């Protein structure tokens, strides 16, 4: 009870509640604008949060992260264009329901499922908090190194069909982290006698380039669009009642979201597809999926909104981000010298509980805001895409320059913006680069600190948790290779049969 009281006292400060409210409302609006998304907004706001207290900055970013998927459902349902990438499955059944004359029902059901998923994940995290507090102190340098390595492996293998490219981009991110002064003896690495490389390549510069500037370039070079969406008549409370009919689908979808959110590199897409597949296979009317099945809409929205809360588990307990947005949040911790990991749960439990309660309040704020303001948000959808591109470009460069008052950072950010645009055009992922930089830094520090107590490779896995994580790495790679060669063998067999 003392921990809970201390957490509530942290949250009741006006600046924390203000940051939560601004993040919640701003995230909905940003998510509703096709082509922007939470990653762009968080990348732009990141330099500003460094001047805030950790709880204020993180609450602001969490608000945007957790609420953007709510807003992304609006254009996905009304104009068949997902506001954020993770709302793609929402278009499968949400838009057909709206097209058949029931936009109010589709939006109401999406909001209700999203709210259920968000609250479900927070409840799970509160229940798991004490377990994490007991387990986290048993993680030493070796365990955290292996956990970070597992994160890299999972991030790479999560990009099915692009595993080799994702692996190369992750290695590129790890290499970028080595540029500059190394963290132990402070000798220069890969600077080539260039003074502007001595301080290394800043993570925030890369993030702003890959996410914000690349998206701005994409919006500027593509055809200008300003989609129209019709007003929604009537109240949006009915979905809360209708969700009770699909409570099984919502519960299973939220469970998939929590489970996948806890695993680095997996996230919303995998949880959505698993939830959607389960809902279709267990439905009495599977033929309606993709044509306007309410179960499909509930499955997609409950799963993706359960992920943000769960994604905080590896970040807070181990200091290991699972995807790009939590990697950005990790930098806020580091700037304020608040180091996520075992000691955070042991020594600053009120801070952790405050973040979880903040997520709980976030979902309430967003649901109330959406029920009464959906038609006002529709105006945001009509903003011309090139105007958005100019705004993102301007704010991104302001953020880049404000980091260290350096034009060099602006030039490096612009270079990564062009590189990010090329990746987008080739449909290649940019997330492995960011996670490679973050996880690579963690791996290097933990590896070097553990080497003093390691005399042979087997010493790395001579403790139970280290052995379990190492076994997980071997199993994940083995299963992927077995699946790959099995698929390749079947493809080769089919080709031979066709030739015969």
Closest CA to 272 of 292, 255, 284: 255
Spatial CB neighbours of 245, under 8 Å, sequence gap ≥ 6? 294
Q: Is residue 314 a contact partner of residue 469, using CB atoms and an 8 Å limit? A: no
pLDDT tens-place string over residues 264-295: 666 666 777 778 888 888 888 878 777 778 88
Q: Is residue 136 a contact partner of residue 346, using CB atoms and an 8 Å limit? A: yes
Distance CA 130, CA 108 (A): 35
Query: Please, what is the angle between helix 349-381 and helix 103-135, to 10°?
Result: 160
For 192, other C-beta atoms within 10 Å of its C-beta total: 7
Distance CA 34, CA 383 (A): 10
The predicted structure's pLDDT at residue 228: 63
Q: What are the angstrom distances between the C-alpha of 218 and each of 96, 165, 213, 436?
A: 29, 21, 8, 24
Q: Is residue 329 a contact partner of residue 50, using CB atoms and an 8 Å limit? A: no
Sign, CA torsion 385/21/434/81: negative
Per-residue pLDDT of the chain (500 residues; tens, 9 = 90+): 677 788 888 888 888 888 888 888 888 888 887 767 777 788 888 788 877 888 888 888 888 888 888 888 888 888 777 777 677 778 888 888 888 877 788 888 888 888 888 888 888 877 776 676 677 677 778 888 888 888 888 878 877 778 888 889 989 998 988 888 776 677 888 888 777 777 788 888 888 888 888 888 888 887 776 666 666 665 556 667 777 888 888 888 888 888 877 776 666 667 777 788 888 888 888 787 777 788 888 888 888 888 887 887 777 777 777 677 777 777 777 777 777 776 777 777 788 788 888 888 888 888 888 888 777 777 777 777 788 788 888 888 888 887 777 888 888 889 999 998 998 888 888 888 888 888 888 888 888 888 777 777 777 777 888 888 889 889 988 988 888 788 776 665 666 666 65
In terms of DSSP H, where are the helices of 50-89?
A: 54-78
The predicted structure's pLDDT at residue 437: 85
Q: What are the angstrom distances between the C-alpha of 168 and each of 53, 162, 263, 285?
A: 36, 10, 21, 43
Distance CA 273, CA 279 (A): 10
Structure tokens at 245: 């009919």
């Amino acid at each position: 009870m003392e921990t809970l009281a201390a957490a509530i006292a942290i949250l009741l400060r006006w600046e924390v509640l203000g940051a939560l409210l601004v993040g919640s409302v701003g995230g909905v609006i940003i998510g509703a604008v096709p082509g922007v998304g939470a990653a762009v907004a968080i990348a732009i706001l990141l330099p500003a949060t460094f001047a805030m207290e950790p709880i204020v900055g993180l609450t602001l970013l969490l608000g945007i992260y957790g609420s953007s998927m709510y807003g992304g459902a609006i254009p996905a349902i009304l104009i068949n264009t997902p506001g954020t990438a993770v709302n793609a499955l929402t278009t499968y059944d949400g838009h057909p329901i709206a097209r058949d004359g029931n936009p109010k029902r589709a939006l109401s059901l999406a909001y209700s499922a999203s709210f259920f998923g968000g609250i479900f994940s927070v409840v799970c995290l509160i229940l798991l908090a004490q377990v994490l507090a007991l387990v986290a102190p048993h993680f030493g340098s070796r365990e955290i190194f292996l956990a970070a390595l597992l994160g890299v492996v999972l991030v790479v293998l999560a990009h099915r069909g692009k595993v080799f490219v994702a692996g190369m981009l992750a290695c590129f991110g790890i290499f970028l982290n080595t540029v500059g002064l190394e963290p132990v003896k402070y000798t220069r690495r890969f600077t080539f006698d260039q003074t502007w490389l001595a301080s290394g390549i800043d993570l925030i510069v890369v993030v702003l380039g890959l996410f914000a500037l690349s998206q701005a370039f994409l919006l500027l070079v593509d055809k200008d669009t300003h989609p129209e969406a019709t007003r929604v008549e009537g109240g949006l409370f009915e979905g809360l009642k209708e969700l009770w009919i699909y409570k099984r689908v919502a519960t299973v979808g939220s469970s998939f979201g929590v489970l996948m959110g806890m695993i680095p590199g997996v996230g919303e897409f995998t949880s959505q597809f698993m939830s959607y597949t389960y809902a279709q296979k267990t439905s009495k009317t599977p033929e309606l999926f993709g044509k306007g099945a309410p179960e499909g809409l509930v499955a997609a929205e409950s799963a993706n909104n359960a992920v943000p809360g769960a994604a905080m588990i590896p970040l807070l307990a181990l200091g290991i981000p699972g995807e790009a947005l939590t990697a950005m949040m990790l930098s806020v911790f580091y700037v304020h010298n608040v180091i996520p990991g075992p000691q955070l749960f042991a020594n600053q439990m009120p801070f952790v509980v405050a973040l979880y309660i903040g997520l709980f309040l976030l979902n309430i704020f967003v649901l109330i805001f959406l029920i009464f303001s959906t038609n006002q948000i529709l105006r945001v959808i009509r903003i011309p895409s090139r105007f958005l591109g100019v705004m993102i470009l301007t704010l991104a460069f302001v953020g880049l320059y404000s980091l260290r008052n350096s034009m060099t950072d602006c030039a490096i950010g612009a270079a990564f913006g062009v590189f990010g645009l090329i990746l987008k055009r080739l449909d290649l992922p940019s997330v492995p680069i960011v996670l490679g930089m973050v996880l690579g830094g963690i791996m290097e520090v933990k590896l070097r600190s553990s080497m003093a107590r390691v005399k042979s490779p087997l010493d790395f896995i001579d403790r139970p948790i280290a052995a379990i994580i190492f076994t997980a790495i071997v199993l994940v790679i083995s299963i992927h290779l077995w699946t790959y060669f099995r698929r390749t063998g079947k493809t080769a067999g089919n080709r031979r049969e066709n030739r015969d």
